[in-house]
Structure 1
Amino acid sequence: MKYFQVLAHRGLVSEFVPENTTKAFADALFAGADVIETDVRATADGIAVIFHDEDLLRLAGIPKKVAEITWKEISGIDIGFGKRVPTLQQVLQDFPEARFNLDIKSDLAIEPVANVINALGVQNRILISSFSDSRRIKTLKKISGSVGTSAGSARVLALWLCSILGATPLFQFFSRQITALQIPISRFPIRLDSKRFVRFALNAGLELHYWTINDPIEIQRLINLGATGIVTDNCDLVISNFRKEK
């Protein structure tokens, strides 16, 4: 079986380990994950923090938005089993060899994320992503040097249309300065797992990561199709089942 990247979706979450915590990241890396896929927001005082939701309601039962509270406030909040929200700087320093896929969740996070990456000089192990192409591009412009990036939703749609039309030069054009496509299998009537689309993406030199895939049969199908990465909640099981040969 060919080697493919396993991207741990918000780390390795378990019964007593909440998502996007240093423990979840440590467990994922111990299991053998290649990349930590995580989310970044910013506090009211401009600190980049690892957190998915806009507010703290789901994880902490607090109906406050991350962007409306300070780092001092959020650092004292228990998000489950004594775990706390880490900063981006903390996780990058705690895991100095790990690669991170950072999903920029808000415009407020753009500058804080870039500042941390620039200060630590970790560009070579970062991939910037966002559903918003505008947010992604703004973040990249503030980062010094070269950093990996995936395409936002609008860019993915443009690439899909190019593949449907057989417009190889246009596909190559829209692939410029993109490292990877991180995509679902489908979005409404749009199939992003067709042999044609995969062929166009791979021929353009793009990595192709599908999310969030937990079913072994589906993982095997996507690997056979040509996926170069799987974003999964179950990185430990994926590695144990699909990494017998490298």
Structure 2
Amino acid sequence: MARVTAVAHRGDPYLARENTLASFASAIAAGADAVELDVRLTADGVPVVLHDPTLERLWGRRAAVGDLTADRLAALTGGGVPTLAAALAATAPVRTLIDLPERAPATALAAVAAARAAGADSRVYYCGDPGALRAVRAADPAAEIALTWKRTGRPRPSLLAELRPRWLNYRFGLVTREVVERAAAEGYEVAAWTVDSRRTMRRLVALGVTAITTNRIATLRAVLGPAPGG
């Protein structure tokens, strides 16, 4: 059976606020093989780690990230929203899955540049909006891509040819044995997100997925067994 990569969704959000350095550290300590994080761009072009377009849900501010400079964002959150550069330093012990939740090519290009500047190209890979992933592929022909897929129909052959993903990254309810076997026959690995129950984790492992993203990384680690070297 292929080894399954345990991916921590925004870190360890049940123990520490999502997409923060504390959350990433907690996930790594719990045995994550990779940390997934979301990237958005500030008004002055700094890639920062936050899923939502505004600060309202996590930080109690209605301000949009894209309307704030990096300095103002830091002031409003007490430094709680890390830059991508800081996040890549914090996640250096494991792989980092950069999620690009919006189509904006500028965000994708900034993320690729930050990974390159950090010397993290070999441990970073990308998922998110297909439009953003097109920008990633154009900026880095060698980038590893996990094509996020939320539909029952399979990805278009033209999109697959354009993006050349390693992974087909499915919402977990869409994963069947047929999906996994067809992907394998075509040379792709299957990842599933976001999976928090032990029963579903075990089902997906039995189907042959090779990566699972979860909010409960300690639970997934217990299902999969110790990490290599752990």
- Same fold flag (TM > 0.5): yes
Equivalent runs, 1:68-83 vs 2, <5 Å: 68-78=67-77
Distance 1:244 1:88, change over 3 A: closer
Query: Residue 76 of structure 2: SS of its match in structure 1?
Result: coil
Q: Report the Cα offset of residue 7 of structure 1.
A: 0.4
Query: Residue 182 of structure 1: SS of its match in structure 2?
Result: strand
Letter in structure 1 aligned against 2:168: L
Alignment of 1:114 onto 2:105: no
Query: Following the alignment from structure 1 to structure 2, what is the Cα–Cα distance between the partners of residues 100 and 218?
Result: 23
Query: Following the alignment from structure 2 to structure 1, what is the Cα–Cα distance between the partners of residues 91 and 146?
Result: 22
CA contact 1:156–1:181 (8 Å) conserved in 2: no
1:4-59 Cα deviation digits (max 9, x unpaired): 111000001235x2000011101111111001011000100000001000101101
Partner in structure 2 of residue 167 of structure 1: none
Question: Structure 2 residue aligned with 1:126, among 121, 124, 127?
Answer: 124
Larger Rg: 1
Query: Following the alignment from structure 2 to structure 1, what is the Cα–Cα distance between the partners of residues 74 and 97?
Result: 23
Distance 1:67 1:9, change over 3 A: same
Q: Report the Cα offset of residue 181 of structure 1.
A: 1.2
CA contact 2:201–2:223 (8 Å) conserved in 1: no
How many residues are treated as equivalent by the alignment? 226
CA contact 2:35–2:91 (8 Å) conserved in 1: no
Q: Under a length normalisation based on structure 2, what TM-score does the superposition of the two structures give?
A: 0.88
Query: Following the alignment from structure 1 to structure 2, what is the Cα–Cα distance between the partners of residues 158 and 61?
Result: 39
Query: Following the alignment from structure 1 to structure 2, what is the Cα–Cα distance between the partners of residues 243 and 56?
Result: 36
Q: Report the Cα offset of residue 96 of structure 1.
A: 2.5
Partner in structure 2 of residue 202 of structure 1: 184
CA contact 2:39–2:49 (8 Å) conserved in 1: yes
Query: Residue 115 of structure 1: SS of its match in structure 2?
Result: helix
Letter in structure 2 aligned against 1:184: R
Alignment of 1:180 onto 2:162: no
Partner in structure 1 of residue 198 of structure 2: 216
1:171-230 Cα deviation digits (max 9, x unpaired): 9964971110111134xxxxx322221101122222211111111111111100111111
Distance 1:54 1:171, change over 3 A: closer
CA contact 2:5–2:212 (8 Å) conserved in 1: yes
Query: Following the alignment from structure 1 to structure 2, what is the Cα–Cα distance between the partners of residues 127 and 194?
Result: 24
Query: Residue 23 of structure 1: SS of its match in structure 2?
Result: helix
User: Unpaired runs of 5+ in structure 2?
Assistant: none
Query: Following the alignment from structure 1 to structure 2, what is the Cα–Cα distance between the partners of residues 211 and 180?
Result: 12
CA contact 2:192–2:211 (8 Å) conserved in 1: yes
Q: Under a length normalisation based on structure 1, what TM-score does the superposition of the two structures give?
A: 0.83
Question: Structure 2 residue aligned with 1:96, among 92, 104, 109?
Answer: 92
CA contact 2:126–2:145 (8 Å) conserved in 1: yes
Query: Residue 24 of structure 2: SS of its match in structure 1?
Result: helix
Q: Report the Cα offset of residue 152 of structure 1.
A: 4.2
Moved over 6 A (4+): none
Query: Following the alignment from structure 1 to structure 2, what is the Cα–Cα distance between the partners of residues 49 and 134?
Result: 19
CA contact 2:31–2:227 (8 Å) conserved in 1: no
Partner in structure 1 of residue 12 of structure 2: 12
CA contact 1:158–1:174 (8 Å) conserved in 2: no
CA contact 1:10–1:20 (8 Å) conserved in 2: yes
CA contact 2:172–2:195 (8 Å) conserved in 1: no
CA contact 1:155–1:174 (8 Å) conserved in 2: no
1:70-99 Cα deviation digits (max 9, x unpaired): 100111233xxx670001111112332321
Letter in structure 2 aligned against 1:24: S
1:119-156 Cα deviation digits (max 9, x unpaired): 223211111111x212111122123x512101244998
User: Unpaired runs of 5+ in structure 1?
Assistant: 162-169, 187-191
Cα RMSD (Å):
2.6
